[in-house]
Structure 1
Amino acid sequence: MDRRRFLASATAVGVSSLAGCTGGGGGNGGMDGGNEGSGDASGTPIAEHPAAANLDSQPILGEATDALIVAFEDPSCTLCRRFEQQTYPRIVSELVETGRASFVYRGLPIIYPWGEPASHVLEATFAADADAFWALKDHYFGQQSAFDTDNVYNRSQTFLASETDVDAEAVVTAARNGEADAAVELDLAAGEELGIGQTPEFYLFSDGVFKTTVRGAQGFSVFESVLGS
């Protein structure tokens, strides 16, 4: 997929007012208005919704199958980092670990350039070990300012070697060699179909059907209001 074409054609989707990082490499978090996309059809079954396409191949936390948060995030996005640090821990502890919802991560590297190789490393890591994937995802957001296009592979390998059980060199080599390209393209294709032009963006499902879209680094109460029952 041509990244410039994707960014040029994307429109923002969502019902909440806090915008996310906008595509195009600016990462400025400005407002990005747009038309309704294909993800706005409330009541669509999970299996028929573009956000849940290829769900079986995605990183998923939790055992719930009829209540999902499908998150489109970019490791380089500053508002994704805010969500990950302020809201994500409560989603895990109060919704995922209690069995009320599952959390699905989908990479959408459309902000700063280093998010693209980072997303490839994440997918290669997931192919090797799910626990290592979640650890690396947290590391990217926790140390976001330390990454750039020149160091992302080396820093990722150092972290994986010291903090996980995967063969770090093999994982990063796989990412460099394009072995994760297909997985990254699946998420980019889903993002394009949904018209996503900024991150983070979340698609919430409850009782097996789509409920609403949430845009930006929203607080826990926004997610709980839909999925907390």
Structure 2
Amino acid sequence: MKLTRRTVLGTAAAVGIGTGVAGCLGSEDPPEPPVLGDPDADVTVTVFEDFSCPSCRQYKQQLFPDIEATYIEPERIRYEQRNYPIPVDETWSWAIACAARELYETEGNEAFWPFATDIYDHLGSYSYETIETVADDLGFDGAAAREAAEEESHRSVIEDDKSYGDSSGVEGTPAIFVDGEQVNLAETRPSTAIDAALE
């Protein structure tokens, strides 16, 4: 299932997105994340994002489409998205995450993933009205998403996700883990790490 507009993947797209520190995912019991691909796949890719982070937008728009086409749609991996509000923006890092979580909890994966992709088109000009409009345009409950953002009604869940990230060694976003090992994006493309795990 195609969820995003395909973009050309540049050969150096991974460079400059961020750095990672190798480590293992923490042992704490984190919130259930939105999942794409095969939920029972042997290889799990976990990505921590901050919706106000320009590097996360770059990842979602330039690298994710290739991961989606090559690994997610053929159901070769389990792909999870988790929240890690640094926060880049004290308001929107939390508000957008809460809106996305609301859509996930009330309308499921089919609502979460398109919203979590399309909202990045508005980074730098976020507003509660934008949150509502993006959700509405996708055919989901924009008013509920806006209310969740305004009230930060899922903040405790987002905080639990961030705590899980902390225990996993996350220091910045996007942070990508392949089977528990963090990918250093300054040195390795996510696809390289995924291919190695699939061998």
Global fold match (TM > 0.5)? yes
C-alpha displacement at 1:76, in angstroms?
Answer: 1.2
Residue 142 of structure 1: how far off its partner (Å): 2.7
Does the C-alpha gap of structure 1 residues 193 and 220 become closer, same or farther in structure 2, counting only changes over 3 Å? closer
**Cα pair 1:100 1:227 within 8 Å, conserved:** no
Q: How many residues align?
A: 181
Check the 8 A contact 2:84/2:165 in 1, yes or no: yes
1:10 maps to what in 2?
A: none
Q: How does 1:97-176 map to 2 (within 5 A)?
A: 97-110=73-86, 111-113=88-90, 114-129=92-107, 130-147=109-126, 151=127, 153-164=128-139, 166-176=140-150
Matches within 5 A, 1:21-32: none
1:203 matched to 2:186:
no
CA RMSD of aligned residues (A): 2.7
Equivalent-residue separation in structure 2 for 1:69 and 1:184 (angstroms) = 19
Cα distance in 1 for partners of 2:83, 2:61 equals 17
Rounded Cα–Cα distance in structure 2 between residues aligned with 1:137 and 1:175? 13
The one of 153, 162, 165 aligned to 1:191: 165
Is 1:201–1:214's contact at 8 Å kept on the other side of the alignment? Answer: yes
The 1:51/1:69 distance shift into structure 2, 3 A limit, reads: farther
1:177 to 130, 147, 151: 151
Q: Secondary structure at the match of 2:183?
A: strand
The amino acid of 1:58's aligned partner reads: P
Query: 2 CA distance for matches of 1:180 and 1:63?
Result: 26
Q: Distance in 1 between matches of 2:185 and 2:49?
A: 10
Distance in 1 separating the partners of 2:162 and 2:94: 11
1:11-90 matches, within 5 Å, as 20=18, 40-41=23-24, 49-50=25-26, 53-54=29-30, 57-65=32-40, 66-90=42-66
Deviation digits for residues 133-160 of structure 1 (CA, Å, limit 9, x no counterpart): 111111122332332xxx1x21100111
Q: 167, 170, 195: which one pairs with 1:225?
A: 195
Which amino acid letter does the alignment assign opposite residue 159 of structure 2? E
Q: Calculate the TM-score normalised by the size of structure 2.
A: 0.78
TM-score (norm 1): 0.69
CA distance in 2, matches of 1:95, 1:170: 32
Unaligned runs of 5+ residues in structure 1 are: 1-15, 21-30, 42-48
Aligned-partner residue type, residue 197 of structure 1:
E
CA distance in 1, matches of 2:47, 2:28: 10
Amino acid at match of 2:137: S
Tell me, in whole angstroms, the C-alpha distance in 2 between the residues paired with 1:142 and 1:177.
Answer: 23
Q: Percent identity?
A: 22
Give the counterpart letter for 1:67 in structure 2. Answer: V
Q: How far off its partner does 1:64 sit?
A: 4.3
Q: Quick check: 1:107–1:187 contact (8 Å CA) kept in 2?
A: yes
**Residue pair 1:64, 1:100 contacting (<8 A) in 2 also:** no
- Displacement of 1:40 in angstroms is 1.8
Unaligned runs of 5+ in 2: 1-13
> Cα deviations across residues 71-94 of structure 1 (Å, max 9, x unaligned)?
001111111111111111111111
